[in-house]
Amino acid sequence: MHLFYQPDFAQLFYLTEEDSRHAVKTLRLGAGDSISVTDGKGTRFDCLITKPDPRQCHVRLVEFHTTLRRPFSIRLCVAPTKNIDRIEWLVEKAVEIGVERFSFFISRHSERRVLKTDRLVKIAVAAMKQSLQYYLPQFDEAVSFDYLLRAIEEEHRFIAHLPELSVPEHLFRVTVPQTACVVLIGPEGDFSVDELKQAVDAGFRMVILGENRLRTETAALTACQIINLANI
């Protein structure tokens, strides 16, 4: 199945210029060929191509299907890495596995203090289409750690940290299936002592993701996979 993304499909019965070019030039689809389009909000539109124009490929709607959201949700709150490629890799893989929201924050030890999400959204769109999903995750602009803690609404809150002395419980053991979960993942330099205390005071439960010390992007993807597995 060829899946394309058009956020305004309810009003515009043609593909975006990028998807039009991909459909006509790369896939060599022509008039009468079947494709599916999603608006990224849970709807799949089954269509037939009527005008295979590489600049604006027009289609005719045949039928549509609405997909319900999952009975659980995952919000990854991540401190951006110095190397932006690692965050881009995380977004691609986490979307393929399943995630509802990305929130980025700047903490005391953050090496990257500015993050533009435009390219991350494009990567998420490509991953959504590749994995045949119909919901595009939400992306939040980077904010301060303090502001993020005040804005969290999810009931089940976790902060991933591997302390030297006490050993918190593993995320898999404390995840409650079919609930909204949020996980905080710190920067390369980890959370500061004050930030860990702030998070705990804000209702976050300290957890580990395993015995090994993980990179920021690896930790975030591992947390995403753990929560998905806990909901099987």
> What pLDDT, on a 0 to 100 scale, did the predictor assign at position 111?
84
Give pLDDT tens digits for 54-91. 999 999 999 999 999 999 999 999 999 999 999 999 99
Distance of CA 113 to the CA centre of its chain: 20
**Average per-residue pLDDT in the chain?**
95
> What pLDDT, on a 0 to 100 scale, did the predictor assign at position 189?
87
As a whole number of angstroms, the distance between CA 41 and CA 79 comes to: 26
**Averaged pLDDT, 11-18:** 90
Handedness of CA 102, 216, 159, 128 (dihedral sign): positive
Integer CA distances (angstroms), 33 to 18, 23, 158, in order: 18, 10, 47
pLDDT at 9 over 90: no
Domains of the chain and any CATH numbers? 3-66 (2.40.240.20), 73-230 (3.40.1280.10)
pTM reported for the whole predicted model: 0.93
The DSSP output letter for 111 is S
CA angle 118, 121, 127 (to 5 degrees): 150
Position 92 confidence tier, pLDDT thresholds 50, 70, 90: very high
As a whole number of angstroms, the distance between CA 26 and CA 202 comes to: 50
Residue among 70, 139, 66 at smallest CA distance from 98: 70
**Averaged pLDDT, 12-17:** 91
DSSP structure string for 141-195: EEEEHHHHHHH---SEEEEE---SSS-PPBHHHH--TTSEEEEEE--TT---HHH
Position 182 confidence tier, pLDDT thresholds 50, 70, 90: very high
As a whole number of angstroms, the distance between CA 82 and CA 161 comes to: 19
As a whole number of angstroms, the distance between CA 105 and CA 149 comes to: 10
Percent of the chain with pLDDT over 90: 90
* Two tokens, residue 178: 């079919």
Position 167 confidence tier, pLDDT thresholds 50, 70, 90: confident
Are 49 and 35 spatial neighbours (Cβ–Cβ below 8 Å)?
A: yes
Integer CA distances (angstroms), 117 to 9, 103, 134, 166, in order: 23, 10, 20, 36
Give pLDDT tens digits for 131-154. 999 999 999 999 999 999 999 999
Beta bridge partners of 1: none
pLDDT at 29 over 80: yes
